[in-house]
């Protein structure tokens, strides 16, 4: 019976196993007739290697995401003073510096403050009316004109019949508490080189000769800067903590030639050079980084021409506006009729004529009882404000009668929502972030900001108590 057990096959000579001793030293050589194939162990090794690398990469990525999601960006905080014993604020006003003027020409010094400080990105909003005295006094009191009493550059007290002008320094006109008064009332020193209201004696502020300059427009701007720098050469106990500095330009040129003339460009360049002079002087004394410099304006500027005139005499078919009724014409038309004349009827008849289409440019003027003015203007509560107010569109002017006068220049005082009335706010100092942009805000907020920097207890005002926390760095 045949056996079913497999029989061993005899290998050919070329397949005979090599000597065992030689085989340990010599790797197997594949047969030239068949291609070589990687072994299963090599496939396994490669697979494990790739899988391990991928796992490590994924783990690293998750670890990075976990770490970065829990980490917080470095928060900028107020810088410590390096030389001065206490904070000092220099408040600089460039009158009529319309927002955008800083781009008219090269202004390296202004842009140095912008680059290393905080800027109102689309400008500072003035109070209404956008005039010099009301706005300068709002900046230093934090009050709207209704509450600080300076409701125009010139006005009549309806009770006493007395007239306020820009040369009036009696305290009865100037209500509220300006910053220089706040400073000295709390035992510190303040200095003013011109600012509306600074010559008025209020509280403990007596406008001392050493620290208070009486207005004289002929004093060169450079001399004003040098006087301010001199305060930093005083002993620390005599050094003022709050200083104002005022320049009439470019408002002076703006009224003469409007906002787009080369004279404005030259004036802006001069203001920039003055800022450079101030910075250089502070750097030489080693205190520039310690001092807070706030550069701002009081209002903007818009061009005006004869073709944008409205004449009150043209309203005669509807109502006769007597010249003695008119307290001011442009840009705030303010009217006080006699007590026996109906205020509502005057407003109604004037608006009827202005909207009739028969008055040249009449649709660019609208009359209001002051209590009916838009509440955002904050221009009703004071008894000093005339009972009838006319709001002009920007660039238009009012005159009582036609004349041959030819004028084409610039003006301000219009509705403070007009972008042309905006000015600048640029602040550089230990408590202002570098290169930071903030939204536009009204200038009544500035009082609280400065009071916070100087660690003063501020007087009651119309600004927000929390605004300083939003614009200043944490100590």
pLDDT in tens, 128-163: 999 999 999 999 999 999 999 999 999 999 999 999
pLDDT score recorded for residue 48:
61
pLDDT score recorded for residue 50:
60
Question: Which of the four pLDDT bands, split at 50, 70 and 90, describes residue 406?
Answer: confident
pLDDT score recorded for residue 31:
44
Average pLDDT over residues 443-455: 98
pLDDT score recorded for residue 1:
42
292 is catalytic: no
Q: Is the pLDDT of residue 380 over 50?
A: yes
Q: Is 248 exposed, middle or buried (0-12, 13-18, 19+ CB in 10 A)?
A: middle
Better pLDDT: 74 or 196: 196
pLDDT score recorded for residue 44:
59
Alpha-carbon separation of residue 368 from 10, 93, 295, 412 (angstroms): 124, 32, 35, 20
pLDDT score recorded for residue 53:
60
Burial 6-33 (b: 16+ CB within 10 A, else e): eeeeeeeeeeeeeeeeeeeeeeeeeeee
pLDDT score recorded for residue 52:
63
Q: Is the pLDDT of residue 284 over 90?
A: yes
Question: Which of the four pLDDT bands, split at 50, 70 and 90, describes residue 312?
Answer: very high
Question: Which of the four pLDDT bands, split at 50, 70 and 90, describes residue 40?
Answer: low
pLDDT score recorded for residue 119:
98
pLDDT score recorded for residue 35:
44
Q: Do 242 and 180 meet the contact criterion of CB atoms below 8 Å apart?
A: yes
pLDDT score recorded for residue 475:
85
Better pLDDT: 56 or 86: 86
Catalytic position from the list 107, 118, 130, 132? 132
Closest CA to 409 of 397, 418, 419, 421: 397
Question: Which of the four pLDDT bands, split at 50, 70 and 90, describes residue 55?
Answer: low
Q: Is 60 exposed, middle or buried (0-12, 13-18, 19+ CB in 10 A)?
A: exposed
From 13-27, 217-231, 235-249, the region with the lowest mean pLDDT? 13-27
Average pLDDT over residues 4-26: 41
Report percent pLDDT > 70 for the chain. 84
Domains and CATH numbers, the chain: 88-303+416-471 (3.40.720.10), 307-405 (3.30.1360.180)
pLDDT score recorded for residue 61:
60
């Amino acid at each position: 019976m045949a056996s079913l057990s497999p029989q061993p096959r005899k290998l050919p000579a070329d397949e005979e196993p090599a000597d065992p001793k030689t085989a340990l030293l010599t790797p197997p050589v594949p047969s030239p007739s068949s291609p070589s194939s990687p072994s299963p162990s090599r496939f396994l090794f490669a697979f494990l290697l790739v899988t391990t690398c991928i796992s490590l990469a994924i783990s690293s990525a998750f670890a990075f995401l976990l770490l970065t999601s829990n980490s917080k960006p470095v928060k900028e905080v107020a810088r410590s003073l390096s030389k001065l014993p206490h904070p000092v604020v220099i408040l600089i006003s460039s009158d009529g510096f319309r927002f955008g003027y800083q781009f008219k020409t090269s202004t390296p010094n202004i842009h140095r403050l912008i680059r290393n400080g905080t800027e109102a990105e689309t400008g500072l909003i003035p109070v209404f009316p956008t005039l010099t005295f009301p706005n300068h006094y709002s900046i230093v009191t934090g009050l709207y004109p209704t509450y600080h009493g300076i409701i125009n550059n010139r006005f009549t007290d309806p009770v006493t019949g007395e007239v306020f002008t820009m040369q009036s320094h009696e305290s009865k006109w100037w209500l509220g508490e300006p910053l220089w008064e706040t400073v000295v009332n709390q035992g510190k020193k303040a200095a003013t080189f011109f600012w509306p209201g600074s010559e008025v004696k209020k509280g403990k502020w007596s406008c001392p000769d050493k620290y208070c300059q009486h207005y004289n427009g002929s004093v060169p701007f450079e001399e004003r800067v040098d006087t301010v720098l001199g305060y930093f050469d005083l002993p620390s106990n005599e050094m003022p903590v709050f200083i104002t500095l005022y320049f009439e330009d470019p408002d002076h040129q703006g009224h003469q030639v409007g906002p787009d003339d080369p004279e404005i460009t030259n004036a802006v360049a001069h203001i920039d050079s003055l800022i450079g002079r101030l910075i250089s002087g502070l750097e030489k004394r080693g205190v520039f980084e310690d001092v807070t410099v706030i550069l701002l304006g009081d209002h903007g500027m818009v061009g005006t021409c004869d073709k944008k005139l409205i004449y009150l005499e043209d309203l005669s078919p509807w109502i006769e506006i007597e010249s003695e009724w008119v307290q001011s014409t442009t840009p705030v038309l303010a009217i006080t009729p006699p007590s026996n004349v109906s205020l509502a009827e005057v407003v109604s008849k004037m608006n009827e004529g202005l909207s009739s289409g028969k008055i040249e440019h009449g649709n660019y003027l609208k009359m209001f009882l002051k209590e009916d003015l838009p509440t955002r203007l904050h221009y009703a509560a004071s008894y000093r404000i005339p009972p009838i107010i006319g709001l002009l569109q920007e660039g238009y002017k009012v005159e009582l009668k036609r004349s041959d006068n030819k004028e084409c220049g610039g003006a301000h005082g219009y509705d403070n929502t007009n972008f042309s009335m905006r000015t600048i706010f640029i602040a550089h100092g230990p408590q202002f972030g570098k290169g930071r942009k903030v939204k536009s805000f009204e200038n009544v907020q500035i009082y609280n900001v400065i009071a916070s920097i100087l660690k003063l207890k501020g007087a009651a005002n119309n600004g927000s108590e929390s605004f300083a926390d939003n614009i200043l760095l944490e100590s």
